[in-house]
Chains A and B, each alone.
Chain A
């Protein structure tokens, strides 16, 4: 436990030092990331211990707050969610140190490092908290610090707007969590999590609590339709911040759901179905909206929605496995979901950091302005490619392994005796397959348009490779994508220890062997393809011995003067799909057709705004505003009348007290 306090002390000290040394950018550039790295290293010690020994670390002492103690608890679930925090944040910080140099001429970076350190500490505290009050405090610090980080470029109007959307969304979510904890505390008489566990809630209360958790935590995690803040906030934030928000922070929402599940007793089947439904909607719509985007970071933000959907599918299959009494399905579903939490953290942060390197080199996030970057930025390109293969769930990388487990549970569900469960599993399989196909389409588009072909504008033509720290961080994350696939069979016991805590999943551990052998074979099979490829590389060398290799222009069917403008763009690449799903996407087109014999002006621009924001939130918020506008006369700016309000309120309170 002492290491944890050391870690918090380092993060706080680093934040404090950055705060004091406001203008000394050179100092802040070292002190900020160093604090994150050292703190995370210190905190890693107990987390690794817990993961391998499957012990639980506890710390408890009385504090000023009502209903319970200051209670820290590091168990297997906490450790699994803490691992990506402690792994990704330091890498993002090292990257950020170099990334932010670009901005140092214009503004002080000290504040962002204060917030960054606090954010890491707050996220870690969220997964450690063993008490509702402490959890909410950490949750709120996490939301606020990330809000300030998003607002780094607050001189831009778009950034301010994104920041506000995020702030409002996250607080709506927090409101639901507040009600959730009040409900749970009402049943148990204390805000301690251990109290929640032993309270034994009525089915109605438990169901209500589950729905509240799904909305409250789902807002942070980014379930459709509560995801509206993601596509706004992620593009607005600096890239290393987007990386930890999208890769790590949204997973605290998943953590919240898993943690609440441990309180509520055995899950009835409708919880599982609800999660599966939410997962399908988030997954399919997330990837569809991603396909329709041409802003690179916005596209990646929608992919977070998709991956959160896949995680929800895994959790849903896990719950269904419990309620239909099939521990293999439960184990594979939960294990797949938990692994995907980690894997998504790795490849999504890799992709966001890669996007940051592109933005840094070219000054634009617009994919249709890029192209040919693999030649200018070979290391970034290779790392990005590995991330793209991983996020598409393709073998032999880590994304495949976690999706394989979720597929495994769904295929087991196919064989279930209950026909409704079997049909539901088929639905899950279909969604996963569709998501997989569309994700591959989306990432061939990203990599193909951004890194391959010829540069479409001067921005891309003059790009240079990112700095040494940035490229090294990217390479490390790419290696992590490979390693995270290989270690899957070895981490199953640690996952089992976490899954066992979910009520009804106690007998999951006994069936581990079957799942484990399937995973091992899948791993071997997938890597045998890689081995074949390695052999073929040699074969190709032999084939090309004594052969002349000529370089020429791309063959464009006899056309003699191809220009970069003739290439396919990201919009044209995705066009067949976006047209097919037009009813859902509602892409807006502005088309000026060419006119006359010598057309001078013709243009086409497309935009795909978020459907739930336009159709759901905008009308609701407009309605609220109309309602509240009727009370505007109360606020007229006359101070004497304001004082009168205060006096009247005090009198009313006095009268009420004297009554």
Chain B
């Protein structure tokens, strides 16, 4: 029951986080900012609109948003909330979880190439490169958590932690935060604000989408933000060792705080040069590997 509630919460609240991020950025820029519910208005507006397709595109272009959203929905089924296990959990569901993101990316990249546009090809090329480097970091991070919790199911990773596990959890959290920023195309890896720069990754890949298709793409992106963000909030929950019904509001608050942090990072930092991004991602993998070494030391 609770796990179903979490899924519902994710589905309803995911676009809200975008509003928080934007509000935070507006606050730092001294602006009033958009309404908090702007993402919902945008989605509604797009759903009501007609669609325009490029003559170059094929059915891949129309199938990709559907597949992406389906992957996120499936991934949501494996996502636990603190000590509460997910709707579906089994040994090694981690890999299915990670690979569902892979499937979504595969089709978004294909849709970008489907338009035949040089811009979108460029974004696609960068996306596959960075995600290929982010994937080992993500797997290392999750493997470290697995060794700590002695479970290889995503739902078992976030049990209460001993105090000595703090440096481990902190390292993994930093590493996963970098992966989270990269996967969600956030500063310092990518800039979600400007559309038509040569520096874009995600935004440029979806340049040709319009109407309801764009709404699906944006909603799937919001879910992706929620799901990967929830991993970090879960690490935090594991650290404070909370249990019982209080977990639900704390989890929701954690998600909002995470969105605020993303907004702060985005206000305080500039985007990295592209040549530096791979180093950052490899660094994230190294941090997780380091955390793994620490787990080995501590747990024997």
Complex contact B106–A444 (CB within 8 A): yes
Q: Which residues on the A side are within 8 Å of B62 (C-beta)?
A: 540
B71 nearest CB neighbor, chain A only: A529
- Do the beta carbons of A573 and B66 come within 8 Å of each other? no
Cross-chain contact A525 with B78 (CB below 8 angstroms): yes
Chain B residues with CB under 8 Å of A449's CB are 113
Cβ-defined contact, B110 with A444, below 8 A? yes
Q: A440 and B102 in contact (CB under 8 A), knowing A414-B146, A415-B152, A567-B118?
A: yes
Contact of B69 among A444, A522, A536 (CB under 8 A): A536
What secondary structure prevails in chain B residues at the interface with A?
Answer: helix
Q: Is B114 an interface residue (CB 8 A)?
A: yes
Contact A414 B143, beta carbon cutoff 8 Å = yes
Whether A90 is near chain B, meaning CB under 8 Å from some CB there, is no
CB of B211 within 8 A of CB of A547, answer yes
Please give, as numbers and ranges, the residues of chain B lying within 8 Å of A374 by CB-CB distance: 58, 60
Chain A residues whose CB sits within 8 angstroms of the CB of B270 once the complex forms: none
Q: How far is the CA of A613 from the CA of B99 in the complex (A)?
A: 34
Q: Please report the C-alpha to C-alpha distance between residue A298 and residue B140 in the assembled complex, in whole angstroms.
A: 32
- Interface residues as binary, B103-116 with A (CB distance below 8 Å gives 1, 0 otherwise): 10110011011111
* One of B53, B92, B152, B196 near A557 (C-beta < 8 A): B196
Residue of A nearest to B140 (CB): A430
Residue of A nearest to B146 (CB): A414
Classify chain B: how many residues form its interface, as a range: 35 or more
Residues of B with C-beta under 8 A to A423: 292-293, 296
Which stretch in B8-16, B18-26, B34-42, B44-52 binds the other chain? B44-52
Chain A residues positioned under 8 Å from B133 (CB to CB) = 434, 437
Give the residues from 531 to 576 in chain A that come closer than 8 angstroms, CB to CB, to chain B. Answer: 531-533, 535-537, 540, 543-544, 547-557, 562, 564, 566-568, 572-576
Once bound together, how far apart are the Cα atoms of A213 and B223, in whole Å?
Answer: 50
* Residues in A whose Cβ lies below 8 Å from that of B196: 557
B57 contacts across to A, CB distance below 8 A: 554
Q: How far is the CA of A417 from the CA of B296 in the complex (A)?
A: 9
Given A389-B103, A436-B99, A529-B103: A568 and B121 interface contact (C-beta under 8 Å): yes
A417–B92 CA distance with the chains assembled, in angstroms = 18
Query: Are B129 and A392 neighbours in the complex by a CB distance under 8 Å?
Result: no
**Contact residues in B for A426 (Cβ distance below 8 Å):** 140, 143, 289, 292
Contact check, B55 vs A522: say whether CB atoms are below 8 A apart: no
Contact B125 A454 (CB under 8 A): no
A521 touches B93 (CB 8 A): yes
Could you tell me which residues of chain A, from 5 to 38, have a CB within 8 Å of some CB in chain B? Answer: none
Asked if A52 is at the interface of the complex by the 8 Å CB criterion, the answer is no
* Contact flags B78-95 to A (C-beta < 8 A → 1, else 0): 100000000010111111
Contact of B132 among A404, A434, A535 (CB under 8 A): A434
Which chain A residues lie closer than 8 Å to B139 at the CB level? 429-430, 432-433
Q: Does B208 contact A (CB under 8 A)?
A: yes
Contact B212 A540 (CB under 8 A): yes
- List B contacts of A521 (CB < 8 A): 88, 90, 93
Q: Does B131 contact A (CB under 8 A)?
A: yes
Query: Quick check: A404 and B125 within 8 Å, CB to CB?
Result: no
Cβ A415 vs Cβ B74 within 8 A = no
The answer to whether B207 has its CB under 8 Å from any CB of chain A is yes
B243 interface hit (Cβ, 8 Å): no
Instruction: Annotate A418-443 by CB proximity to B: 1 below 8 A, 0 otherwise.
Output: 01001100100110111011101101
Choose from A371, A394, A526, A556 the contact partner of B117 (Cβ within 8 Å): A556
CB-based contact B152/A577 at 8 Å: no
Inter-subunit contact A447/B67 (CB<8 Å): no
Known: A426-B289, A429-B143, A525-B93. A552 touches B53 (CB 8 A): yes
- Which chain B residue lies CB-closest to A412? B152
Residues of A close to B98: CB separation below 8 A: 433
Write the nearest CB–CB distance from A450 to chain B, whole angstroms.
10
Cα of A540 to Cα of B216 in the assembled complex, Å? 9
Contacts of B94 in A (CB 8 A): 411
| Closest B residue, CB atoms, query A556 | B117
Can you name the residue of chain B whose Cβ is closest to the Cβ of A434? B136
**Which of A417, A453, A551 contacts B115 (CB under 8 A)?**
A453
Q: Which residue in chain B gives the minimum CB-CB distance to A544?
A: B212
User: Are A395 and B103 in touch, CB under 8 angstroms?
Assistant: yes
Q: List 22 A-B contacts (CB under 8 A).
A: A395-B100, A414-B152, A426-B140, A430-B285, A433-B139, A447-B110, A447-B113, A448-B121, A452-B113, A521-B93, A522-B92, A528-B77, A547-B212, A549-B51, A550-B52, A554-B54, A554-B57, A556-B119, A562-B116, A568-B121, A568-B125, A580-B129
For the complex of A and B, 6 pairs with smallest distance between CB atoms: A568-B121, A448-B113, A437-B132, A453-B116, A521-B90, A441-B128
4 further interface pairs, Cβ-Cβ under 8 Å (given A430-B136, A550-B51): A433-B138, A522-B92, A525-B78, A572-B125
